Amino acid sequence: MHQIDRRNFLKVLSLSAASATIGLGSTLEEIGKQSKNLSKPNIILFMADDLGYECLSCYGSLSYKTPNLDKLAEKGVRFTNAHSNPLCTPSRVKIMTGKSNLRNYIRFAMLKPGEKTFAHLFRQNGYTTCTAGKWQLNKRYDGQTPEEAGFDEYCLWQVNIYGSRYSDPTFTRNGKEIEAVEGKYGPDIYSDFCLDFIEKKKEQPFLVYYPMVLTHKPFEPTPDSETWPSQKGVRDTKNFTDMVAYMDKIVGKFVKKLDDLDLLENTLIIFTGDNGTHRRIMTKTDHGIISGGKGYTKGTGTHVPMIAYWKNHSAKGYVCDDLIDFCDITPTIAEAAGIKTPEALNTEGVSFLPPMKSSESSNIFSVALNFLL
C-alpha cells in the first residue's frame, strides 16, 4: 500500500476540484470581459500583528467591531481552521517562503540570506512588488533587507532602526531612514504608501504585502480615539478596542481604493494574523471569554483569522473548515496568478484556491482531509 503525506494528498485532491469555463453560448462581449478578468490578478496580502481569530466579529467577537472585514467575509470566504506559528518572526519567514520553520528559521528577527520569497517569484513573472508595515527580518543580524527579499518599493518599521511604530513613527522608506515624524500615525503612513503604490501601478499587475503593525503592543490610542492626541503614547490595554477598529478601517480603505480604480474584480485579497493575541487581552465572544495565547503552542496561540475575497471569482459567503497552514499561502497566490511554483522554491504548502473558488469542491476537500487527519 502506498504511503501518502499531507502535501501529496492535498495536491491530488486539489487537482480534482472543478474549474470555471466559458460557456459555448457566451457572446463575444462576455468572452472578452472574462478574458480580461483572467489576466494576471493583483495580490494584496494583509497580516495583522498579534491578532487571534477571536478578535473579529465575524468569528464571534463581542468585544470588537470589524465591519469591513465582516463585509469581506460575507462577500468572500471565511476560513475557520487557519493556523500560524505562535510567534511573529517564525510566521513571517514561513508565510513569505512557503517553507516550514524546520527548513528556514535561523533566529528571531532574521530572514535567512539567499532564501527566496513570494516577492521574488512574482517579480520574476512580471509583477511589481511592494511591502509596508513591520519588517523585523534583518534587525541586528545579517538577515535580508526588503530589496534582497524581492520588493521593489517599501515603507517599513524596524528594518535597521528603532523607534515608535505608532505615534511620531520612525521608519525606512525605499532605503531612506525617517526619524520620528511628529504628529503622524505609523499605520496611516504605511497604508497610504501602499495606496499610493496601487494608484501608480494600476495599469500593471502588482503584489502588495502588508504585514501590519496593528494590533501589537504598546497599546496606544489611535487617531480615532477620544484621547488622541492628548494621550498619544499612553499605554493601556483599554486602547486595544480602538486598535482593532483602526486595523479594520485600514482594510476598508484598501477595498475602497480598489473599487474606485475598478480593480476589485482583478485583485485577490487575503487577510490573516501572524499569531495569537497578546496574553493580556481578554476577549468576550459568543462562545465565552478567550484569553490571548501568543507564544503558546495551543489553539489561542496559533488559531488566526483568514478571509479571502476575489470579486466574481471566490465563493460568496462561504465558511470553509479546511485546515490552512501558512505554507499554503505562496502556492495559493501563485496559482491565482497563473504562476507555476518552481522546484527551486521547494514549498511545502498546497494551494487552497480550488476550495476557495468553489464551495462545493471545498466540501469534498474538507471531508477527505478530516478523514486523513
> What are the pLDDT digits (tens) for 124-140?
999 999 999 999 998 66
In angstroms, the CA 356 to CA 37 distance is 17
pLDDT of residue 9: 43
Domain boundaries, the chain: 44-372
Three-class secondary structure of residue 140 per DSSP? coil
Average pLDDT over every residue of 132-152: 90
Task: Grade residue 228 by pLDDT with cuts at 50, 70 and 90.
Answer: very high
pLDDT computed for residue 365 by the predictor: 41
pLDDT tens for 347-358 read 999 999 999 997
pLDDT computed for residue 167 by the predictor? 96
Q: What's the pLDDT score for residue 310?
A: 98
Cα–Cα separations (whole angstroms), residue 292 to 204, 212, 245: 40, 18, 18
Average pLDDT over residues 149-175: 95
Residue 221 clears pLDDT 80, i.e. is over it: yes
Residue tagged 491578532 (cell numbers): 51
In angstroms, the CA 211 to CA 233 distance is 22
Residue 328 has pLDDT above 90, yes or no: yes
Give pLDDT, residue 199. Answer: 98
Which CATH code, of 3.40.720.10, 3.40.50.10210, 1.10.530.10, 3.40.50.2000, is assigned to 44-372? 3.40.720.10
Question: In this predicted model, what pLDDT tens digit does every residue of 20-64 receive, in sequence order?
Answer: 333 333 343 443 343 344 479 999 999 999 999 999 999 999 999
**Run of H or E including 92:** helix 88-97
Q: Is the pLDDT of residue 320 over 60?
A: yes
* Grid coordinates of 315: 465563493
Return the beta strands (E) in 26-137 as ranges.
Answer: 42-48, 77-83, 128-134
What does the pLDDT average to over 267-275? 98
Q: What is the pLDDT of residue 364?
A: 40
Helix (H, G, I), strand (E, B) or coil at 195: helix
pLDDT band at 231 (very low <50, low <70, confident <90, very high): very high
Quick one: average pLDDT of 239-243? Answer: 98
Inform me whether the pLDDT recorded for 4 exceeds 90: no
What integer pLDDT is reported at residue 216 of this predicted model? Answer: 98
Is a pLDDT exceeding 70 seen at residue 18?
no
Contacts of 186 (CB under 8 A, 6+ apart): 157, 164, 165, 166, 167, 169, 171, 213
The span from the CA of 125 to the CA of 53, in Å, is 33
Q: How far apart are CA 39 and CA 68, in angstroms?
A: 27
pLDDT of the residue at 139:
63
Evaluate if residue 71 carries a pLDDT over 80. yes
Which pLDDT score, from 0 to 100, does residue 360 have?
54
| Mean per-residue pLDDT of the chain | 88
Please state which of the ranges 27-36, 88-97, 180-189 shows the lowest mean pLDDT.
27-36
Residues 52 and 300 sit within 8 Å (Cβ to Cβ)? yes
> CA dihedral in degrees (262, 72, 188, 136; nearest 10)?
-110
Q: Where are the beta strands (DSSP E) in the chain?
A: 42-48, 77-83, 128-134, 153-157, 171-173, 176-178, 206-211, 267-273, 282-285, 288-291, 303-309, 318-320, 324-325
pLDDT of 161 reads: 84
pLDDT band at residue 104 using 50, 70 and 90 as cut-offs: confident
**Is pLDDT of 215 > 50?**
yes
pLDDT value for 12: 40
Closest CA to 352 of 325, 373, 370: 325
Give the cell for residue 260. 474606485
pLDDT at 371: 39
Please tell me the distance from the alpha carbon of residue 171 to that of residue 63, in angstroms, as a whole number: 31
Q: What's the pTM value of the predicted model, to 2 decimals? A: 0.87
Residue 218: how many other CB atoms lie within 10 Å: 14
Separation between Cα atoms, residue 223 and residue 267, nearest integer Å: 29
Percent of the chain with pLDDT over 70: 85
Which helix (H) or strand (E) segment is 360 a member of? helix 359-372
Spatial separation of the C-alpha atoms in residues 108 and 353, rounded to whole Å? 31
Q: Quick one: pLDDT at residue 135? A: 96
| Choice between 305 and 341, residue whose per-residue pLDDT is larger | 305
